[in-house]
Every structure is written in C-alpha cells, then in structure tokens.
Structure 1
Amino acid sequence: MTGGYGKGPDILHDCTIAVNPGEIAVIVGPNGAGKSTAMKAVFGMLNVRSGRVVLDGEDITALSPQARVVKGMGFVPQVRNIFPSMTVEENLEMGAFIRKDDIRGTMEQVYDLFPILRDKRYQAAGELSGGQRQQVAVGRALMTKPKVLMLDEPTAGVSPIVMDELFDRIIEVSRTGIPILMVEQNAKQALNIADRAYVLVQGANAHTGTGKELLADPEVRASFLGG
C-alpha cells in the first residue's frame, strides 16, 4: 500500500502487511513510523493510491470502512472505542448492529473470554477501569463475528499487569481461529506473542519475520528494543 490522508503527501510507501487465520501479526516501530496509519489504510480510513487490500480472497480496496465491517473486519481504535454512557451489555449489543441472527451465543463467548464483563454487564462502560474498557471494546468488535480483528494499540495507557492480562486474552481470541492484526507500542511484549511481525520505519517495511526472529535480530534489538 502507498497512500496518505486526503490530498496530503504519502505516509505509507509500498507497505505490505498480512495475517492468516489463527495468527497474531504485530506492527511495531518508532513514533511517527506510520503504524496506525497502516492499520487505518487496511480499514479504509485513508486513500490507498497504489496497492490493494484483500480480505478472504476478495479485493475490498474500494469499500468504505462501514462496508468493510459488513465484509468481516473488526476494528478497535486506540481512543473513543466504547460508548461510555451505555452499559457493558448495550455496548456489546451495539457491536452486533449489522447482524440479523441470534447474538446471544456470541455474547456468551465474549463473557467467557472476559469474565469481568459478565460481572459488570449492567454497569456503564465509562465507569470501568482502562483495562476493562479495552475488554469492552474488543468484545464489541467480536460481536460482529469478524474474519479479522484489528487492534490499534490495545495496551496504551494501562498498567503492566493489565497489559499482560490483555495480551493473554488476545492470545485466547487468536486460538479461536480469528486472525489478529495489532499495532503496539510495547514492542518487546508484542513480539513475544507474534506469529508474524512487521517493523515499519517512515511508512515502509524495515524488517519482517516471526516475532522470535525479530526479537533475536541484533539490528532490531539495537534500533527498537533498547539493545
């Protein structure tokens, strides 16, 4: 993908990202590297001037973000990703707005994955802790029964303990077969759980490999992981 916002300059330069069923793919890199921009390009929130986006074998490059959700993209933005005045359960119901079938089974799966949400299902989501709000946001995206789940910095602003718990939940989601594409500032921890990893620098692929390969790469370690 090559592209940028509106009529502005290109931010992404021949950037390639992919994730397969059951995989966790992470995008890491320095601040301003284009990580979240790459995620937004996949979701249709900026102009892809060359290249394409393919979901489940179908070229969806021309589709709006809303149409991509219908096709099977679940996207959790970094901020403003819940309805704070609604209850936890209402947030999950909002996630299923495109579905015409019975959503109760999926809601039970979300509650099994995030037991704290079952306990707080009638509480306003805005009253929850940061980590719990992130669980609501991920759960809401899962209610669409997505073919791919995209998370933009899911552990931003949470404590190390909560970060570890969120990563554990993300691994559990991937074990259900849903591919997960994740932008993450906590590079070392993200690479630890990644089947596939991309280091972006100035909107281009600098390094690609498994999480373990990039963790072991001296250049990646020196440049992005503090040695």
Structure 2
Amino acid sequence: MSFLTAEHMTGGYGATDILHDCTIKVEQGEIAVIVGPNGAGKSTAMKAVFGMLPLREGRVLLGETDITAMSPQERVANGMGFVPQTHNVFTSMSVEENLEMGAYLREDDFRGTIEQVYDLFPVLKEKRRQPAGELSGGQRQQVAVGRALMTEPKLLMLDEPTAGVSPIVMDELFDRIIEVARTGIAILMVEQNARQALNIADHGYVLVQGRNAWTDTGEALLANPEVRRTFLGG
C-alpha cells in the first residue's frame, strides 16, 4: 500500500464533477507530480486530497488511516502539509513569525524545526526579522514551504510552487524539494512546468478533463512520444 492513496476520486463543485475516477498515490520519500493542460483538474485533485472538496465517490488513505471524512485541519494533525499557490504567507508578519504560525498545532519545543528550515533555506535566516510581504516571489515560496514543514508533515503538498518565479529560482526550489523528499517526506506537487517537474519526479500523473490519462515514472512519461507531443512541446 502507498503512503498516500487517493483512489477513484469523483467530485467537484455543486452538481458538476471536475474529477472522474481519479487516482493519485505517493510513497514516503518520493516525489509525485500532477501535470496536464489548463482546466484538467490538477488543483482540484489536490484540494480533494486535502479535504477542501467533498467527494461523491472514492476515498483518501494516509498510511492505513481512512481520512476521507476528515477536515483539512484534522488532516494536518494526521501528517499533511499543504502549500497553496497564492496567498500562502502572512505578508505583514516577519519570516520567523510565519514559521511560528506553522507550528500552531504543536505543543512541543519547535525551535529545532525552525533551525532545520533555516538550514534548508539559508536566505530565510538572513531575513527572519523582515516582513514576508517585502520578500521576492521565490523567497515567499520558501517561507510558505518552510511554514508547512513546521507541522512536521509526513506528506507535503505543493500547488504550483514555481509559479511566477525565474528559471534560476525554479531550479533552486526543485533542488530544495528533492532535499525534503530525501528526509523521508512524501511530496505531491502540481506543476505547470511539466518537463522540469517530471525530471525530478519518481511518479507522474497526467490528468486530462479530471481523469488519469497517463500514469508512469517521471522518466517514462518524459520519454513517451504522445505525452511529449501533447504536453511537452515535442
């Protein structure tokens, strides 16, 4: 059994289903990437996994625990961390205050985790007293990821983590994501930069109109002629 098993997910908004029998799985220490055209249901699938979208059919398991009926906050308490694409930092708070907010469910001493975040993102330690709203886009993304890591998640979910950042910053963020996965955390990521994302992915899911179109290793999807022609520009 995979660490995250979100299987046969069908659901959407009101009477309209966006997801149709969609299945996503992630192992601990691995990176799984969801790619596909605009409107394919990629972010909707993430919201369904995180409990922000009710399912008409299907279920979500974290380890052996069925979390289908849990609220997002209950899922965080059970080991999920979620970084939305936008509005993912408290702009008026300092970098360090943002990280402290990520530990709101914890009752232990979390200062060691803050130091781990600073080791992963050294620029945040330099700017720890600075309001997050004054940071560059890439640095804000680092704050958002760092805050999610403060919950000590077993599964980290990232919705378009490289949106709006330069190619150099994108490469750096991907390097840090690989480092996080090496600690044993499962990573589930939605990405528009499909080629680059699949290049670091252990597994990839290509969604089309809310359905699994192709599921394979990142390497195999990059080599698939139809995937290359349809989604990767040849």
Q: How does the TM-score come out when normalised to structure 2?
A: 0.96
- State the Cα RMSD in Å: 0.5
Answer yes or no: is 1:33 the counterpart of 2:50: no
1:60 Cα deviation after fit:
0.3
SS of equivalent to 1:51? strand
Query: How far apart in 1 are the matches of 2:63 and 2:165?
Result: 33
1:135-154 CA-partner distances (Å, limit 9, x unpaired): 00000000000010000000
Match of 2:187 among 180, 185, 188: 180
Answer yes or no: is 1:90 the counterpart of 2:97: yes
Q: Choose between structure 1 and 2: higher strand proportion.
A: 2
Partner of 2:65: 58
Partner of 2:229: 222
Partner of 1:3: 11
1:148-200 CA-partner distances (Å, limit 9, x unpaired): 00000000000111101100010011011100000000000000000010000
Partner of 1:158: 165
Query: How far apart in 2 are the matches of 1:82 and 1:54?
Result: 28
Partner of 2:56: 49
1:8 Cα deviation after fit:
2.9
SS of equivalent to 1:185? coil
1:190-226 CA-partner distances (Å, limit 9, x unpaired): 0000001000000000000000000000000000001
Give every structure 1 segment of 4 or more consecutive aligned residues whose post-TM-superposition deviation is greater than 2 Å: none
Instruction: Please list, as runs of the form range in 1=range in 2, the aligned pairs for 1:95-106 lying within 5 A after superposition.
Output: 95-106=102-113
Query: How far apart in 2 are the matches of 1:82 and 1:55?
Result: 26
Aligned residues: 226
SS of equivalent to 1:118? helix
Answer yes or no: is 1:69 the counterpart of 2:76: yes
1:66 Cα deviation after fit:
1.1
Q: What stretches of structure 1 of length at least 5 have no aligned partner? A: none
Q: How does the TM-score come out when normalised to structure 1?
A: 0.99
Percent identity between matched residues is 79
Partner of 2:207: 200
Query: How far apart in 2 are the matches of 1:131 and 1:145?
Result: 22
Query: How far apart in 2 are the matches of 1:205 and 1:9?
Result: 18
Q: What stretches of structure 2 of length at least 5 have no aligned partner? A: 1-8
SS of equivalent to 2:26? coil
Query: How far apart in 1 are the matches of 2:135 and 2:64?
Result: 39
Quick one: which amino acid aligns to residue 108 of structure 1? E
1:56 Cα deviation after fit:
1.6
Quick one: which amino acid aligns to residue 64 of structure 1? S
SS of equivalent to 1:164? helix
Query: How far apart in 2 are the matches of 1:27 and 1:209?
Result: 11
Partner of 1:135: 142
Answer yes or no: is 1:124 the counterpart of 2:131: yes
SS of equivalent to 1:16? strand
1:57 Cα deviation after fit:
1.1
